[in-house]
Amino acid sequence: MKPKAVAVSTGAEMRVTNSGRERAVICVNGGTRAEVPGTWSASLEWLVQRLAGRFPEVSFAEVRFRVKSWNRLDLCTADALAAIDAAAAAGAADTRLIGFSMGGAVAVKAAAHPSVSNVIGLAPWLPDRLDLSTLDGRRLAIFHGALDRQLAWIPGVRPAASRRGFERARARGVNASYMLIPGAVHGIAARAPWGAAIPLPRASRWAELVAAELQAWSG
């Protein structure tokens, strides 16, 4: 299954596997403090490669932001919303969002789109100032590596931070769940020098948990 890259209305790109389905999963990436051009996420790429064959009735779209920076969260959210609209134009009536790292905040903000029913956060960055009202009436599932840490040379989000976001969502009455993955770090995969997405420790466990979230919905 070779994904097809297409431009969306904001000028960002999305890479689609299983296009034209009535259900779509929009996957949004992490970012940095610096305002740098967007890239394809190795973690999301690896995950989609494992899930797309298992769920052929679901479209999977990986988003490449114009600028991947948490200081331009507005631009990243606009890119995610444009990808949702593009999936809808291709036939998707029901959308779920997967947000990795900074993409967790982007997914929460983009959940305001009327076609979104669920948000899955993978080691999500959910700052305390983030408005969670967009999750009202939707489901939130958070999975986080127990060994995730912010190091000088490696990005990360401490589990305690996403746990606070989970607790705030639950306090609003959001249908939410939270699970730590023992032995897992911040990412699911890393980009090898030759371009392949190489799985990190416990990558298969991340895939199993996301697949379980998609199972009932996709049938």
DSSP string, 152-172: SSS----HHHHHHHHHHHHHT
The pLDDT assigned to 137 comes to 96
pLDDT over 70 at 1, yes or no: no
User: Phi first, then psi: what are they for 108, rounded to 5°?
Assistant: -60, -45
Residue type, 54: R
- In angstroms, the CA 196 to CA 155 distance is 20
pLDDT over 70 at 202, yes or no: yes
Q: Give per-residue pLDDT as tens, 38-67.
A: 999 999 999 999 999 999 999 999 999 999
Q: What are the CA-CA distances from residue 149 to residues 46, 155, 192, 207 (Å)?
A: 21, 8, 21, 21
- In angstroms, the CA 72 to CA 56 distance is 34
Q: For 4-218, CATH number?
A: 3.40.50.1820
* Average pLDDT of the residues in 140-165: 88
pLDDT over 70 at 118, yes or no: yes
- In angstroms, the CA 68 to CA 41 distance is 11
- In angstroms, the CA 95 to CA 111 distance is 9
- Single out the residue of 26, 27, 20 nearest to residue 89, CA to CA: 20
